[in-house]
Amino acid sequence: MEYKYILASGSPRRKELLGSLGIDFEIIPATGEEILTSSVPSEVVESLSEQKAKEIFHKVLRDNKGAIVVIGSDTVVSYREKILGKPKDRADARKMIRMLQGGSHKVYTGVTICVKTPLGAEKTITFHECTSVKCFEMSEEEIEKYLDTDEPYDKAGAYGIQGIFGRFIEGIRGDYNNVVGLPVARLYQELKKEKLV
């Protein structure tokens, strides 16, 4: 079955993770305004991933006669049920890192798969994964040094587990790739279940 796969994200980390599934895909980042209707982390990531996937699905649908699979994803860091998005500036990043150091938090990633089958039927599958992350305590000097790097400013919760911040991660419970930005194992299982791979 010949599907055209599209990732509705410009994230280099998601591109790399989706590439590990061994499928050819195109990248068309979603650009629409994100509309939040909840403050519950799992609901937020599911809703945002669906908005992204559907935006690109409907764009592509207009010009494409074949079977398509669009994958949208969104990740948030949650500390005591408070959602931490990307920091606005250094002060915001500092506040987030101070919260996270020395304790545990959760990372939620929502994934939406929009499908048009070879027979023209349309289907949407949405799910989320949650991973618990525990951080070592950090000194003020370590925090400031970290804030001097580029790493905190384009990531939810002001850190990337696969980057410099990795040295402060004491442990995780759940899927590591979920924290990076795409739970590829779960995604693969969902695609397999729907006979999309």
- Percent of residues in the chain assigned helix, strand, coil, to nearest 5: 40, 30, 30
For the chain, residues with pLDDT lower than 70 are: 1
pTM of the model: 0.93
DSSP 23-47: --EEE----SPP------HHHHHHH
- Residue 133's Cβ-side half-sphere holds a number of Cα atoms within 13 Å equal to 31
| Active site members | 74
The CATH architecture to which 3-193 belongs is: Alpha-Beta Complex (3.90)
The candidate with the shortest Cα–Cα distance to 174, out of 141, 130, 136, is 130
Q: Where are the domains of the chain?
A: 3-193
H/E stretch holding 188 reads helix 184-193
Q: How many Å apart are CA 69 and CA 91, to the nearest integer?
A: 40
Q: Which tens digits make up the pLDDT trace of 6-61? A: 999 999 999 999 999 999 999 999 999 888 888 999 999 999 999 999 999 999 98
